[in-house]
Amino acid sequence: MFRLTKVIFALILFSCAWCVSAEPVDINSATADQLAESLNGIGKAKADAIIQDRDKNGKFKSVEDLARVKGIGSATIEKNRDKITVGIDVPSSPAAPPKAK
């Protein structure tokens, strides 16, 4: 009985650690390794394809844009939707108007 309790406790600890460490990944700035480690159904080859598509066609504007990468369909996008972010470029602040003399 004590052994079963230890096993259950260990499983709970591992599952909690996974939930806490599961941070969303920005598909516009992540490396291929980060993509492959963070996303379900995305291995090294598809992660490399995401990077190549991003370099060739520009940044992704939405999560759905991942579908433009060969081998990534709506099912893969849906099961990873909560793990994906699309970084938004923040425009620089406008230049201050010249001071009056």
Reported confidence tier of residue 98, pLDDT bands at 50, 70, 90: low
HSE-up of residue 20 (Cα within 13 Å, Cβ side): 6
- 91: which 2 tokens? 């425009």
pLDDT digits (tens, 9 = 90+) for 26-49: 999 999 999 999 999 999 999 999
Identity of the amino acid at 40: N
The total of structural domains in the chain comes to: 1
Question: Does some domain include residue 72?
Answer: yes
CATH code for the domain in which residue 61 is found:
1.10.150.310
> What is the mean predicted confidence (pLDDT) over 82-92?
74
**Range(s) of the domain holding residue 63:** 30-88
- 4: which 2 tokens? 């079963």
Judged on CB neighbours under 10 Å (0-12, 13-18, 19+), 59 is: middle
Judged on CB neighbours under 10 Å (0-12, 13-18, 19+), 13 is: exposed
